[in-house]
Amino acid sequence: MTEETLFSKIINREIPADILFQDARVTAFRDLYPQAPTHLLIVPNKPIPTVNEVTEQDQAVLGYLFIVAKKLAEQEGLAENGYRLIINCGNHGGQEVYHLHMHLMGGRRLGRMVAAD
């Protein structure tokens, strides 16, 4: 059994969040520590720790993340000028919560994807 995460508590409405979208497959909410004027997280309701644990059974819900991202980008007024979608995997990839999630960021021109150390 997968451990309960901060995101599963948000999905189950055990802790508060600014939820913008939720259905049986996906929950989307505003990031508590935004890195852009608009910074949303789109999370599969099924807890998948990292991309490394994705199975073929997850294919439909992971594709659905992109459909939800597109709709939210339109709803947030980001579609015309563009936005960034990010999925981090593991410690070196910058993943902080081990419940697979997609960041949707926009509202200004975003810099390079990876800053030099």
Domain with residue 31: its CATH number is: 3.30.428.10
| Confidence (pLDDT) at 112 | 83
| Confidence (pLDDT) at 116 | 52
| Confidence (pLDDT) at 1 | 42
In a domain, 115, yes or no: no
- Residue-range definition of the domain harbouring residue 37: 6-106
In a domain, 10, yes or no: yes
In a domain, 24, yes or no: yes
In a domain, 111, yes or no: no
How many folded domains does the chain comprise? 1
| Confidence (pLDDT) at 3 | 72
Regions of the chain with pLDDT less than 50: 1
> 29-68 in b/e burial notation, b at 16+ Cβ within 10 A?
bebeeeebebbbbbbbbebbbbeeebeeeeeebbeebeeb
| Confidence (pLDDT) at 2 | 56
What letter represents residue 16's amino acid?
A: P
| Whether residue 99 lies in the annotated active site | no
Scanning the structure block, which residue is given the tokens 């597109």? Answer: 70
In a domain, 1, yes or no: no
| Catalytic-labelled residue, pool 39, 92, 99, 101 | 101
